[in-house]
A and B are shown apart, each in its own frame.
Chain A
Amino acid sequence: MKISRLIVQLLLVVAVITSVVLSFFIWTNTARYQRGRNIDVTSADSNKNEIPMNQVISPTSVIWHDESEQHLIYNSNENISLSVQKIMQDWKISSPKEVSKKDGAYYQKIIQGKNMLQLVYPTSITTNVFGYLLNNDSLKDEKGNQFNRILINLKDKKDQNIYLANDSNYAVYKAKVKNASSIPLTKLVKRANVDLKIRLDIMKHGVFIFYTEPIKLKSYSYVISGKKDSEYTTALFDSNTNGLVTSADNDVYTYNYGESKRLTSDHNTEELTFDDYTDTSVPKTQLAFLQRGYQKVTNLQNSISNLRLYNANWKDKDLVFREYVEGFPIFKKSQFGSIRIKFSRKGSSEHFLNKVLEVPVPSNQAATKLKSTNEIFKGLQRVGFSPNDVQSVEVGYQWETETDNEKVVDLKPTYYIKIDGHWRPYNEWTNESAEED
């Protein structure tokens, strides 16, 4: 009688403890469980183009400072920045600690450090996003801190850190690294086949790359592709396109899906705008912001291997993507780059060009020799723009459609200058060629 009661009590205690333990496991496991599900969904989605998020959001410039000077390097057979990221995925990076902030002199010293390999993002991202892109758990929970440069010392064996630097507030963070070796990185640097002498200088509007000597850059040609409006409507509206209302006005076609979605396609400029008034949730974290942008981009275009995140404006929830060739951005004849995505409470909008680089073809154009950046600043000064007026200077590729072959586009390098919020090629600001005579 008593023993049976004891057994019941004992079993009860065991059952209660088991339930507590199991609940604990399920609770701590939820994050993993949900992430697993997310990965499932994205891998199914990205199957069709398979370009991972850390290729679209990736550093575009690689700078190597040897014993004496800085070089912008590139390897036309292998993207150095993607390869470095791949190597970093095996590193154990602990959470970054602030070293300094708002100290311009120190910042200049850091970004001009010797034996430093530097990867530069076109726009700043948070360490949290960085951890996600590298699939690094220890970085994942770190929040808030933004940066756009990753610096790695390849010679100093005692310096077991990577540095993260932010151009906009001169903040420098230090993160301890384990399980890392500089040997594969040094090899990547040595394999570079494009090497341009540069100097990083702090100007009024941020850090500028100064090409200290005239630079010789190749021209490229690509076969471009586009999609029909109907292909966009099937992808962007739900598959049910019965309720579609179409109107046309001078080659501007508008497709309405009820009151909730609208696609406007201008057949003259090949610019399209898609408004989704049902997409009213605004991303709450920077990671969600970029993830949703990436999802939208993969949904829009089939071929995004050249596409990079160019600018992320967290305050206005505005993302700009541009296509890149050999580490340089392509400026098309539009003010917004290739794709612009904006989230708001009224709905999201996507602005994009129906011209995508598809297949590279050998270019029959000779290499272009561009002036040094100093000469460019002198030229701008001659027409009345002081260096402080210049918000940004970038060497980029200009998009020139061949008159006899609409399907092939030629890309020619030139200097692009941003003044008063507008990007224009150097010759349009100054009526002078950016090419060296």
Chain B
Amino acid sequence: MDFKRIEVIFLIVFFSLDIFLFLSFRNSQQLVSSTNTNTSTITEMRKRNISFGSLDTKNGYAYYLGSQPDESLAQNVSKLRNQKVSYEDVNHSISSALSDPIEVKASNRKSVMDKFIKKESNVLFGKDYKYSPQLSSGSQIVYVATTRLGEVYDKTAQLIFSVSDGEVIGYTQTYVKSMIILHERQAIKSEKDVITSLYANSEIPNNSKISYANLAYTKLLEAKDSTIYIPVWFVTIKNKDSKVVTTKKVNAFTGNIIKSSTNGDSSYNAQ
């Protein structure tokens, strides 16, 4: 018997077995690491010319918050000077027309208005609001309410200045005096989770820019005379071709995309 030939055959057999074993071993390794799909989504997005800054991967915590109707604006309306003010009971809001319109330029409007709202005779509770470039536009300068638990992006707690021909002519204001925590803190989606899920749901077109991604509280529903707020990610996407700007809202607890109904209010089904 040719022993040498057997040796060679054995060598070939074992060699192919080694290759097979090595491949299956590598396969199993890949499966373990395949949980890391988010990174690949990010590279895919970059390839499709979607630009964005670095995304925060930290999962934070947030609360269900509640507020009760508040008459602070109505009670303090007499403190305002040099403006024609009307108070609306239903929305608990102030509408004001300034006697002397303020001239603003795109470059200085934040600093001018920041200074303006500090004075109590100009705007009530001005220190509780903060300029929001994300919600502002050419005709509106939007200030949002800030609480110790975070900012509120909602019609029920906003200060909106109307701009006409380079002048601020008046404002509307709603106010929330205090927010109460209704439930223990809950984990929320990270910025990265939200953006990758928006992309996966075809909400981010190719060749666009994510200009803002902010977490803020917004009204979910009204029940028992109280307003309930939940944390929502506000993601603003600018299409580089058409220059159209859209803001998507994502429920930070569930990660569900909130579709706005026709009147602009987020529907309760967003849950």
User: How far does the alpha carbon of A372 sit from the alpha carbon of B4 in the complex, in Å?
Assistant: 91
Interface residues of A in 170-228 (CB under 8 A from B): 221, 223, 225
Contacts of B271 in A (CB 8 A): 225, 302-303, 358-359
Q: Evaluate contact between A26 and B34: CB separation under 8 angstroms.
A: no
In-complex Cβ contact of A362 among B8, B11, B17, B180 (8 A): B180
Give the contact stretch, choosing among A4-12, A273-281, A283-291.
Answer: A4-12
User: How far does the alpha carbon of A182 sit from the alpha carbon of B117 in the complex, in Å?
Assistant: 47
Contact A25 B25, CB 8 Å, known A8-B7, A77-B63, A408-B223: yes
Q: Evaluate contact between B35 and A359: CB separation under 8 angstroms.
A: no
Q: Name the prevailing secondary structure of the B interface residues.
A: mixed
User: How far does the alpha carbon of A257 sit from the alpha carbon of B187 in the complex, in Å?
Assistant: 38
A401 interface contact, C-beta 8 A: no
B182 interface contact, C-beta 8 A: yes
Q: Mark B18-38, 1 if CB is under 8 A from A, else 0.
A: 100110110010011011000
Q: Find the residue from A47, A361, A363 having the highest chain B CB count within 10 A.
A: A361
B185 interface contact, C-beta 8 A: yes
Interface residues of A in 376-434 (CB under 8 A from B): 405, 407-408
Contact A223 B31, CB 8 Å, known A8-B8, A305-B186: no
B255 interface contact, C-beta 8 A: yes
Q: Mark A1-32, 1 if CB is under 8 A from B, else 0.
A: 00001001101100110110011011001101
B266 interface contact, C-beta 8 A: no
B243 interface contact, C-beta 8 A: no
Q: Mark B174-210, 1 if CB is under 8 A from A, else 0.
A: 0000001111111101000000000000000000000
A76 interface contact, C-beta 8 A: yes
Q: Evaluate contact between B18 and A223: CB separation under 8 angstroms.
A: no
Question: A300: shortest Cβ distance to chain B, in Å?
Answer: 16
Give the A interface residue count (CB, 8 A).
48
Contacts of A26 in B (CB 8 A): 21, 24-25, 28
Q: Find the residue from A22, A79, A302 having the highest chain B CB count within 10 A.
A: A22
User: How far does the alpha carbon of A40 sit from the alpha carbon of B14 in the complex, in Å?
Assistant: 34
Question: A55: shortest Cβ distance to chain B, in Å?
Answer: 9
User: How far does the alpha carbon of A326 sit from the alpha carbon of B181 in the complex, in Å?
Assistant: 13
Q: Name the prevailing secondary structure of the A interface residues.
A: mixed
Contacts of A18 in B (CB 8 A): 14, 18
Q: Mark A221-251, 1 if CB is under 8 A from B, else 0.
A: 1010100000000000000000000000000
User: How far does the alpha carbon of A48 sit from the alpha carbon of B31 in the complex, in Å?
Assistant: 22
Q: Evaluate contact between B15 and A15: CB separation under 8 angstroms.
A: yes
Q: Evaluate contact between B14 and A223: CB separation under 8 angstroms.
A: no
A144 interface contact, C-beta 8 A: no
Contacts of A16 in B (CB 8 A): 14
User: How far does the alpha carbon of A77 sit from the alpha carbon of B24 in the complex, in Å?
Assistant: 49
Q: Evaluate contact between A76 and B66: CB separation under 8 angstroms.
A: no
Interface residues of B in 248-268 (CB under 8 A from A): 254-255
In-complex Cβ contact of A9 among B7, B63, B68 (8 A): B7
Q: Evaluate contact between B34 and A40: CB separation under 8 angstroms.
A: yes
User: How far does the alpha carbon of A23 sit from the alpha carbon of B230 in the complex, in Å?
Assistant: 53
Chain B: CB-nearest residue to A36 = B32
Chain B: CB-nearest residue to A407 = B223
* Nearest 10 Cβ contacts at the A-B interface: A15-B14, A36-B32, A360-B182, A22-B21, A33-B28, A360-B183, A361-B223, A362-B66, A362-B226, A12-B11
Query: Can you list 12 A-B contacts with CB-CB less than 8 angstroms, sorted by A residue number?
Result: A12-B11, A16-B14, A26-B28, A36-B35, A40-B31, A47-B255, A78-B184, A359-B223, A359-B228, A362-B226, A407-B223, A408-B224
Question: Which residues on A are within 8 Å of B, measured CB to CB?
Answer: 5, 8-9, 11-12, 15-16, 18-19, 22-23, 25-26, 29-30, 32-33, 36-37, 39-40, 43, 47-50, 75-79, 221, 223, 225, 302-303, 305, 326, 358-364, 405, 407-408
Question: Which residues on B are within 8 Å of A, measured CB to CB?
Answer: 4, 7-8, 10-11, 14-15, 17-18, 21-22, 24-25, 28, 31-32, 34-35, 61, 63-64, 66, 68, 180-187, 189, 220-221, 223-226, 228, 230, 254-255, 271
